[in-house]
Structure 1
Amino acid sequence: MEIRAARPEDAPQVVPLFIQAMGGIADTLAGSDQPQEVRAFMSDFFQQPANRLSYQNTLVAEENGQIVGSVILYHGRKVAMLDQPIIDRLRALKNDPHITLDKEAEEDEWYIDTLSVAPGYGGRGIGTALLRAAEERARTIEPTRIALLVDSDNQRAYRLYQYLNYQQDAVVHITHHPYLHMTKKLVDV
């Protein structure tokens, strides 16, 4: 297995992983609950630079030419800039200038937006390898702390993050659903 930076042409394999990980949040970002529209939105934004879903913020795990996992990572202080293209699209689509997105990341942390492993590849260490690669990328650029949100109902993922030394420090509501905010120091202060 190789972990590498994503490329725009990875969209057909990566977008289903994003949707799998995001669930209803993907519908919210796309402004639609129609699967074809959600896929088209995700694919379009993945292939563009300078937004939260961009290939620029994505690492993929590849095995025998097949993408078997992905992780989106960016710094919290860039959230407003990365979300703006999505907000602009939603405002135009819904004809509502007041649309905003729920806050997921703090400005003093790296944020793992989405982590996903392809069906049939779970339990093989791919998610752990992607998390460690994301941590290493963040550590080499600006070592502070890294954070993620986990669905409060997803005990398997919660246990994995605890095992990897992430600690819960808050509960955050995204689209009216509770998520546990977990952080990990990247360096000793």
Structure 2
Amino acid sequence: MIRPAKPADTEEVVPLIIQAMGKLAKKLTNVEDDEIINRIFKHFFQQKNNQYSYENTLVFENEGKILGSLNAYDGEKLLMLRQPFLAYLAEHYQTNNNNPSTETQSGEFYLDTISVNPLAQGKGIGKQLIKAGIDWAKQLDHHAIGLLVEQNNENALKLYEKMGFSVQNEKEFMGGLYHHMVFKLK
């Protein structure tokens, strides 16, 4: 079952968000310590009005266990949603990465992280989460859905293409090269 996330889901969802981000979690936070990165994302998942909030997250739950998550939001709101995150990092961890490039833009509902527990992969959970993200974008009256895929991630690229996304352009983001993929709703 797919449902909106709740603050109580923190312990199960945050590792999924960090898994989806991979090396970007360290780049964005400017922190090397995995425990601290986990603490930062847990803090923000439980808060409202930020990029990684439970408010912007759907979860796939089966028999009381969260097996997947999708984090998404209106691309136009990215800078506003990211601001509390960057301010917190500067205040508490003296990081000075307050100008990361943007991965989305106005006019796009952005699928930021899509993640499935490694023990549950290959069972269609990712596809169900993507479909739920598309439905969410439709409910909010968006016309396009965007996401980034690392250029060397052929499996993800094929999955998104099967789901109706197409490569719109190439994008450099935080030192990496990505396919910017778009799904048109109208």
Structure 1: where are the runs of 5+ without partners?
A: none
> Is the partner of 1:49 in helix, strand or coil?
coil
CA contact (8 A) 1:57 1:74 kept: yes
Matches within 5 A, 1:126-145: 126-145=125-144
CA contact (8 A) 2:107 2:142 kept: no
Structure 2: where are the runs of 5+ without partners?
A: none
Q: How many residues align?
A: 185
- Work out the CA distance in 2 between the residues paired with 1:18 and 1:112: 12
> Is the partner of 2:171 in helix, strand or coil?
strand
- Work out the CA distance in 2 between the residues paired with 1:9 and 1:27: 24
Pair 1:172-2:167 in alignment: no
Structure 2 partner of 1:54: 53
> Is the partner of 1:41 in helix, strand or coil?
helix
- Deviation at 1:91? 2.8
Identity %: 37
Q: TM-score, normalised by structure 2?
A: 0.96
Structure 2 partner of 1:94: 94
- Work out the CA distance in 1 between the residues paired with 2:37 and 2:177: 23
- Work out the CA distance in 1 between the residues paired with 2:81 and 2:134: 20
Structure 1 partner of 2:28: 29
Matched letter for residue 169 of structure 1: Q
- Deviation at 1:28? 2.4
Structure 1 partner of 2:39: 40
- Work out the CA distance in 1 between the residues paired with 2:20 and 2:54: 16
Matched letter for residue 16 of structure 1: P
CA contact (8 A) 2:29 2:95 kept: no
The worse-fitting range, judged by mean Cα deviation, of 120-129 and 21-30 is 21-30
